[in-house]
A = this chain, B = another copy of it.
Amino acid sequence: MLSYKDTYKVRRTCRFKQKREVYLPDMAQQDNAGFSFEVQKICPETGARAGILTTPHSVIETPVFMPVGTQSTVKTMSQQELEEIDARIILGNTYHLYLRPGAELIREAGGIHEFMGWKGSVLTDSGGYQVFSLNDLRKITREGVWFRSHIDGSKHLFSPESVIKTEHDIGADIIMAFDECIPYPATVEYTERSCKLTEEWAARCRDTHEKLDDGSCVLFAICQGSVYPELREKYAQRLVDMDFWGYAIGGLAVGEPKKDMFDMVGANARMLPEHKPRYLMGVGFPDDIVEAVSRGVDMFDCVMPTRNARNGTVFTYDGKLVLKNAHTARDFGPIDPGCQCPSCRNYTRAYIRHLFQAGEILGPRLATMHSIYFYLEIMREMRKAIMEDRYPQWRNDFLRRYRKEE
Contacts and interface: CB of A to CB of B under 8 A. Distances in A.
A116 B108 CA distance: 42
A346 interface: yes
Interface in A78-110: 78-80, 96, 100-101, 105, 108-110
A360 B329 contact: no
Contacts of A330: 105, 108
Interface of A: 71-73, 75-80, 96, 100-101, 105, 108-110, 115-117, 329-330, 332, 342, 346-348, 350-351, 354-355, 357-358, 360-362, 364-366
Contact of A365 (B342, B346, B347, B361): B361
Nearest to A110: B332
Given A105-B330, A361-B361, A364-B361, A73 B355 contact: yes
Given A73-B355, A101-B358, 17 more contacts: A71-B354, A71-B358, A72-B351, A75-B361, A77-B362, A78-B342, A78-B366, A79-B346, A80-B346, A100-B354, A100-B357, A101-B350, A109-B348, A110-B332, A115-B350, A116-B351, A361-B365
Contacts of A329: 101, 105
Q: Output the residue of A110, A117, A364, A366 with the most chain B CB within 10 A.
A: A117
3 closest Cβ pairs, A-B complex: A71-B358, A101-B354, A73-B362
What number of copies of this chain does the assembly contain?
2
Nearest to A81: B78
Contacts of A80: 342, 346
30 contacts: A71-B354, A71-B355, A71-B360, A72-B351, A72-B354, A73-B358, A73-B360, A75-B362, A76-B361, A77-B362, A78-B346, A78-B362, A78-B366, A80-B342, A80-B346, A96-B358, A101-B329, A101-B354, A105-B350, A108-B330, A109-B332, A109-B351, A110-B332, A115-B350, A115-B351, A117-B346, A117-B347, A117-B348, A361-B361, A361-B364
Nearest to A115: B351
A105 to B, nearest CB: 7
Given A101-B354, A115-B350, A117-B347, A75 B360 contact: yes
Nearest to A79: B346
Contacts of A115: 348, 350-351
A78 B365 CA distance: 9
Contacts of A342: 78, 80
Contacts of A332: 108-110
Contacts of A351: 72, 109, 115-117
Nearest to A101: B354
